[in-house]
Amino acid sequence: EYIMGRDLAFYQLLPRVAALAETGWTDNAKKNYGSFKEREAKLNMLYKHYDWKACQDIFTSAK
Q: What is the pLDDT of residues 4-55, one digit of tens each?
A: 999 999 999 999 999 999 999 999 999 999 999 999 999 999 999 999 999 9
Task: Compute CA 10 distance to the chain's CA centroid, rounded to the nearest angstrom.
Answer: 10
User: Where in the chain are the domains?
Assistant: 1-26+51-63
The pLDDT assigned to 24 comes to: 94
Task: Indicate the pLDDT class of residue 62, thresholds 50, 70 and 90.
Answer: low
Q: Are 59 and 41 in contact (CB under 8 A)?
A: yes
What Å distances lie between residue 55 and 27, 47, 49, 52, CA to CA?
26, 11, 15, 10
- pTM, full prediction: 0.75
